[in-house]
Amino acid sequence: MSKKKSEKKQKKSSKTEKMSQQEIAAKTEEILIIKDDFVLVELTGRIKRSNRLIDVTDEEIARKEGVYDEKETYLPRLVIVGKGWVIQGVDKALEEMVVGVSKTVEIPPNEAFGIKEAKNIRTYSIREVQKHVQKGQKPRPGTQLVIEGRRGIILRISQGRVRVDFNHPLAGEAITYDVKVVKKLIDANEKIIELIKRRMPKIDADKFNITKEDNLITIELPKEVYFDQNLPIAKIGIASEIQEYIADIEAIKFVEIYGKELFKPKHDHSHNHKH
């Protein structure tokens, strides 16, 4: 083969290789996770020392390990990367992950639930503690309570004095997490739906009618949520997060339509009627 032909072939090969790298880069850019991305994540968290399950988004795993709770919703979790919606170690791991690829991360205590600190253990009189436990409940080691706005657990009681630990229950523990990003959200409407589901996880997303006009988002709420006692707090959370994380939104309007049919008593067909 002549030198000229060899050089020509080498140039062609180099060009093909260069194009291939550009294609890979473009593809990677689409699925690479960076700070501030909206992502749906599957999570399985365990205490490293004991392998005890502490966090799970998969219903099958929850049932298998005997921690299934019917009040919980087992679906991929919405996370805005870098915003502290998950523990620091998971937040850091999400950056530069790729959609569809699983990763196991070992998280030291300082990036998980903190280090156990002596300053977070306080002593109170039994009389003071009694004011903060549930009515009719007797303080004993293991009892959880809130004092001075802080949640703690009673360690021991001796001679009328009570030691209360305000460290996080998992403080000092190294944690392992299996993490998988199943989707990166791009569309603003998709992001809004997931922000709503975060506050109202039991309601089908299709039941929310969402419209946008200029800088106003209007959300028509389904009847299923009208009598939920947590609705006012949920609406505040949704409105706050949409305005904080979705660009160019200045106001949120919630629509609730209380038609007559909502208050009609349900007809009981179990009784015998004369027709």
CATH code of domain 118-165: 2.40.10.330
Tell me which of 8-12, 54-58, 95-99 is least confident. Answer: 8-12
When pLDDT is cut at 50, 70 and 90, the band that residue 13 belongs to is very low
Note the pLDDT of residue 269.
54
CATH code of domain 187-270: 3.30.70.2210
Note if the pTM is more than 0.85: no
Q: Do domains 20-116+169-185 and 187-270 have the same CATH topology?
A: no
State percent of the chain over pLDDT 70. 85
21, exposed or middle or buried, with CB in 10 Å at 0-12, 13-18, 19+? exposed
pLDDT in tens, 106-141: 999 999 999 999 999 999 999 999 999 888 788 999
When pLDDT is cut at 50, 70 and 90, the band that residue 271 belongs to is low
In terms of pLDDT, which residue wins out, 13 or 51? 51
Q: Report CA 203 to chain centroid distance, whole Å.
A: 16
- 23 pLDDT higher than 90: no
- 249 pLDDT higher than 90: yes
pLDDT in tens, 31-77: 899 999 999 999 999 999 999 999 999 999 999 999 999 999 999 99
Note the pLDDT of residue 274.
54
Strands 144-147 and 150-158: antiparallel
When pLDDT is cut at 50, 70 and 90, the band that residue 196 belongs to is very high
- 22 pLDDT higher than 80: no
Mean pLDDT of the chain: 88
Number of CB atoms found within 10 A of residue 275's CB: 2
CATH code of domain 20-116+169-185: 3.10.50.40
Domain ranges of the chain: 20-116+169-185, 118-165, 187-270
- 95 pLDDT higher than 60: yes
